[in-house]
């Protein structure tokens, strides 16, 4: 039997799809790109209005192109919009964001007698972490490792707590066991990921994110450990001292800002001020002076005035982010901001112009950070992810995407220096290859 996966959205979805691929392979299924599939799995996203629309489009495409296949839909969109998925003809299985381990049993049942299954659970009935196990990735050099699910923050614009439920952390022993399997299977970098990664452990006794990091860094053979994202209030001096004291940790932190105006931050329910965020960045720079700091920035939030937007630009320049992920506000029904958007929406053309301004600033800041590293001739370690015709590309510990002319192979750790400050891909010069630690 042949199975095809269509995955939309974040690193958590990518992890979950890969874990499900592992489960299907264990039952004898072959993964294919799409044509001739007996089963099509669509793992959906709903973080923005656009991503929800893309999810519906992908579901319809799956049923249209594979009319004889079993089509299963799961993920955040189906968790929140089960009825809309049920209305799409040709969908056989609908699941949300819980108990995904049952998917393969539902699929095998549908293959036998074409049954229809709807299993979307209310989070009030859930227990702990929904375990999915992973040993290998089909097409990745860096391995994502999911350590927690859910979020308790309820930012005013975000629908994800309703789609993912409360914080549930994975047992430390299970995280360590999977990390060891991934390293044994040749992965040199592990990226810790989750819906609210830094909240790991808050729901478990005697368990902390700091403790997990301390345990993971001692795994034999692990050369790089990266935190996918962490909120500013989850960073303290003990954590920074840990990160600074072991070069297993990637010199990169992704710390969401969202906005530079205190007025808008309060409306967003972000629970910190712009000055508090900036003070935390100064502390990060004290411990990790050369590290890359990336962030998320939103514009066009309801009621955002030009003065508010200017504060975002000014704060971003002062911080000197190495990269910003820029998002226009997207109204999501069921959030507090949805009603505010009805009262004080930002005109689409204004939102579009502000996105363009932020993207231009991002390019300038990204180039400046690369120039800073290039000027210092600082050796960087890049994990080679793709090679073709003597040109190799990969990410450095600072999460810079670089290319280097070399005859090495994929999944090689290489020391380089930057030749230029181009963004998004910088040219680099190879110094040596091989592991940084014996």
Listed by start position, the domains of the chain span 2-121, 129-250, 251-376, 379-433
| Cβ(396)–Cβ(250) below 8 Å | no
Angle at 46 between CA 45 and CA 50, to 5 degrees: 100
User: Same topology for domains 129-250 and 251-376, yes or no?
Assistant: yes
Fold of 251-376: Transcription Regulator spoIIAA (3.30.750)
For tokens 């411990």, the residue is 287
End-to-end CA distance of the chain: 43
Q: What is the pLDDT at residue 339?
A: 86
43 touches 55 (CB < 8 A): no
CB distance 293 to 315 below 8 Å: no
For the chain, the residue count is: 438
Model pLDDT, residue 343: 87
Q: What's the token pair of residue 121?
A: 């659970």
Structural contact between residues 418 and 374, judged by C-beta atoms closer than 8 angstroms: yes
395 phi, psi to nearest 5 deg: -105, 140
How many whole angstroms separate alpha carbon 211 and alpha carbon 284?
19
Which residues is 3 bridged to in the sheet? 31, 39
Q: Given 3.40.50.10380, 3.40.50.2300, 3.30.750.210, 3.60.150.10, which CATH number is that of 129-250?
A: 3.30.750.210
Q: Are 376 and 227 in contact (CB under 8 A)?
A: no
Q: Is the CATH number of domain 2-121 3.40.50.410?
A: no
Q: What per-residue confidence (pLDDT) applies to 34? A: 74
Ordered per-residue pLDDT tens for the chain, 438 residues:
999 999 999 999 999 999 999 999 999 999 998 778 999 999 999 999 999 999 999 999 999 999 999 999 999 999 999 999 999 999 999 999 988 989 999 999 999 988 899 999 887 666 678 778 787 787 678 999 999 999 999 999 999 999 999 999 999 999 999 999 999 999 999 999 999 999 999 999 999 999 999 999 999 999 999 999 999 999 999 999 999 999 999 999 999 999 999 999 999 999 999 999 999 999 999 999 999 999 999 999 999 999 999 999 999 999 999 999 999 999 999 999 998 888 899 999 999 999 999 999 999 999 999 999 999 888 999 999 999 999 999 999 999 999 999 999 999 999 999 999 999 999 999 997 655 543
Looking at residue 437, what is its pLDDT? 46
Domain 379-433, CATH: 2.40.50.140
């Amino acid at each position: 039997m042949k199975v095809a996966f269509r995955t939309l959205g974040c690193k958590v979805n990518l992890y979950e799809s890969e874990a499900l691929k592992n489960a299907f392979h264990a039952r004898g299924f072959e993964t294919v790109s799409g044509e001739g599939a007996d089963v099509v799995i669509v793992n959906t996203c709903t973080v923005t209005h656009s991503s929800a629309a893309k999810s519906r489009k992908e579901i319809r495409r799956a049923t249209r192109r594979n009319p004889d296949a079993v089509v299963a839909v799961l993920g955040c969109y189906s968790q929140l919009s089960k009825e809309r998925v049920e209305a799409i003809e040709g969908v056989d299985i609908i699941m949300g964001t819980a108990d995904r381990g049952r998917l393969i049993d539902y699929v095998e049942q549908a293959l036998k007698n074409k049954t229809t299954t709807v299993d979307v659970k209310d989070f009030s009935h859930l227990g702990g972490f929904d375990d999915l196990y992973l040993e290998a990735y089909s097409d990745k050099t860096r391995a994502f490792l999911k350590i927690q699910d859910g979020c308790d923050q309820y930012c005013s614009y975000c629908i994800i707590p309703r789609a993912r439920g409360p914080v549930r952390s994975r047992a430390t022993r299970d995280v360590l066991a999977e990390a060891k399997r991934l390293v044994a299977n040749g992965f040199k970098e592990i990226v810790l990921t989750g819906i609210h990664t830094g909240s790991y452990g808050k729901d478990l006794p005697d368990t902390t994110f700091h403790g997990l990091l301390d345990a993971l860094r001692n795994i034999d053979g692990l050369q790089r450990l990266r935190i996918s994202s962490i909120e500013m209030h989850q960073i303290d001096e003990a954590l920074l001292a840990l990160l600074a004291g072991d070069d297993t940790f990637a010199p990169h932190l992704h710390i969401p800002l969202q906005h530079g105006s205190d007025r808008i931050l309060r409306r967003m329910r972000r629970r910190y001020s712009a000055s508090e965020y900036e003070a935390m960045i100064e502390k990060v720079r004290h411990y990790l002076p050369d590290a890359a700091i990336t962030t998320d920035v939103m514009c066009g939030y309801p009621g955002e005035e030009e003065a508010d937007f200017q504060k975002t630009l000014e704060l971003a320049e002062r911080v000197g982010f190495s990269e910003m992920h820029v998002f226009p506000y997207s109204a999501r029904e069921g959030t507090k901001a949805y009603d505010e958007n009805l009262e004080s929406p930002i005109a689409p053309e204004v939102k579009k112009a502000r996105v363009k301004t932020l993207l231009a600033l991002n390019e300038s800041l990204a180039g400046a950070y690369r120039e800073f590293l290039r000027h210092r001739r600082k050796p960087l370690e890049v994990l080679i992810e793709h090679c073709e015709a003597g040109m190799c590309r990969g990410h450095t510990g600072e999460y810079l995407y670089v290319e280097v002319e070399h005859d090495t192979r994929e999944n090689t750790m290489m020391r380089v220096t930057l030749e230029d400050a181009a963004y998004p891909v910088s040219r680099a010069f190879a110094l040596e290859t091989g592991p940084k630690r014996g």
